[in-house]
Amino acid sequence: MNLKTAKESKATPASDAAEKTRRLGPNEGGASQRLRVNLSWLIKLRWVACVGQLLVISVVLYAFQVALPFVPLSLVISLTVLTNIGLVAWSVRLSSRSDWSQQTADYLLLTVMILDLFSLTALLYLTGGPNNPFCLFFFVNLSLAGVLLPRITAVIFHFFGAISFGFLLFSHYPLLIASGVEVLPPIYVSGQGDLRHFGLFIAFLTCSSVIVYFMTRLTGELRQHELDLRQAQAQQSKSEKYEALGTLAAGAAHELSTPLSTIAVVAKEAEAMGRTTTLPEELADDLSLIRSEVDRCRRILNRMAVGAGQVIGESFEQTTPERLLQDVVVELQKVITEPLGLDLDAASKSELIQLPPIAVAQALRALVKNAIDAVPSQGPIRLTSRLDSQWTVVIKDRGPGMPDEILQRVSEPFFTTKSPGIGMGLGVFLARSVVERLGGQIRIESQSRVGTTVTVTLPRRQNPVGSV
């Protein structure tokens, strides 16, 4: 069997290592974890509140000899105890599940905290309302709402808190101590409120609004900081993988260049000998095939090295977008029959940009080549260039498009939908690596049976600190 037959019968499939890799987003599982932590703390605080309420009632009843409706107060505290037992059971159930949404967590916490607010209102209603010094615990509940709840639900809780405090001003059981005259009687006794009621309600509303606003703002910034930190860690991990793969690609290109050069020299010498000696036709074809395959291997290694950002000695140069895109198009026209569409604005034809031209051209060529492979019968593919504060290249095809599950993974290394031996699954990955190293970005949009649009943006002028 000659080399051509061997080549056709044995394809090199893309590695399926990336197929088994599943990357988690920075928010995945965050809502469930936050709900577990918040529930844990809320359950502990509710136990402390129940014990504290019983202790205070006992001290007031037996130490200070103040008459209190013990049975109704005990029923309210018992309700808190029972609901907390149910909350414990719910948290145990939650620990075995991971599909809780953030909205479910917010509504659950809001429901529990409103229940606690009404329990506190009932306790204060039975013990003097605003005359009870423990009415300051309204601000504790409001602070907890600002910490545990997002802004919208915290505002809802604040609304219920204002209604509860206004109700206590209007009606409550009097707390008669010493002189037997209550300091601030309920509004329903006189039929109208005086300046004390109005001033106390305004003061409560102002203080509670300030507490809720600043607590929700503070916790919102902390949550955003946590999200940014997780995203930065995910990006750092991704960059480290890119660096590792880039180093591997550059090392492979370097290590394999020598044996490939040796094979090329030997094949060339054998072909030269064949010109002076009669060789079997099959052997001559094999020698020609060896030369072409060696050249193909060199091109693959060069593309890997360029994509990994390892073009040795390439410096930043000034060029026009038109000149660079013409190089891309001329190279690709060697492998396709239909012309590529190229639309340039006036700035792209005359104004200069500064970048490493070989690396950028290879990256763009890989993206256009992907579009060519995706479009059946070599349908129309257009490249559009716009140059203003940054350079934007849009590659648009009218191919079959990609479903969402493939679009999400299209940048993963070694992920490919092409037939074995046609692609290694590195084109988009290496192109993105080059573009992001230069401070740009690649955005891919695709719809099934409509086509795919790839938008590449690069800074107009780079700081040539070193080679790409």
DSSP class of residue 339 equals P
pLDDT in tens, 261-277: 888 888 777 777 777 77
Q: Which residues pair with 319 in a beta bridge?
A: 353
Q: Distance of alpha carbon 292 from its chain centroid, rounded? A: 45
Enter the tokens of residue 104.
């479910």
More confident residue, 430 or 342: 342
CA distance 304 to 107: 51
pLDDT at 249: 67
The rounded distance, in Å, linking the Cα atoms of 379 and 399 is: 7
Does the pLDDT value for residue 77 go beyond 70?
A: yes
40-76 per-position pLDDT tens digit: 888 999 999 999 999 999 998 888 888 889 999 999 9
Mean pLDDT of 188-208: 87
Alpha helices in 333-356 (DSSP H): 346-350
Give kind and range of the element (H or E) at residue 446.
strand 441-447
**80 pLDDT exceeds 90?**
yes
- Is pLDDT of 202 > 90? yes
Amino acid at 208: S
The 3-state DSSP composition of the chain as helix, strand, coil percent (nearest 5) reads 65, 10, 25
**For the chain, which domains are there?**
30-193 (no CATH), 317-459 (3.30.565.10)
Q: What is the pLDDT of residue 305?
A: 58
Quote the strand ranges of 94-172, DSSP E: none
pLDDT at 22: 38
Burial pattern 152-178, b for ≥16 Cβ within 10 A else e, equals ebbbebbebbbebbeebbeebbbbeee
The DSSP symbol for 455 reads E
Residues 6+ apart with CB under 8 A from 197: 169, 184, 187
Percentage of the chain modeled with pLDDT above 70: 76
pLDDT at residue 337 in the model: 67
For the record, the structure tokens of 438 come out as: 């230069």
Local structure of residue 466 (DSSP, 8 states): S
User: What's the half-sphere exposure (Cβ side, CA atoms, 13 Å) at 201?
Assistant: 19
Chain centroid to Cα 335, Å, comes to 38
Q: Which residues contact 353 (CB under 8 A, 6 or more apart)?
A: 318, 319, 320, 321, 387, 391, 458, 460, 461
**Interatomic CA distance for residues 29 and 230, integer angstroms:** 12
Tens of pLDDT, residue by residue over 318-365, are: 889 999 998 888 878 776 767 788 889 999 888 989 888 888 888 888
What is the pLDDT at residue 230?
85
In the chain, % of residues over pLDDT 90:
25
Q: Of 13, 89, 20, which is closest to residue 416 (Cα–Cα)?
A: 13
Range 217-223 average pLDDT:
87
Q: What is the pTM of this model?
A: 0.54
**What average pLDDT does range 95-107 have in this prediction?**
67
pLDDT in tens, 243-261: 676 667 667 766 777 788 8
How far apart are alpha carbons 42 and 125 in whole angstroms?
24
pLDDT above 60: residue 2: no
**What does the pLDDT read at residue 5?**
42
Q: What length does the chain have?
A: 468
- Among candidate residues 245, 291, 250, 258, the one with its CA nearest the CA of residue 272: 291
300 has pLDDT over 50 = yes
d(CA 455, CA 324): 16
Which of 196, 179, 178 minimizes the C-alpha distance to 187? 196
User: Taking all residues of the chain, what is their mean pLDDT, rounded to a whole number?
Assistant: 79
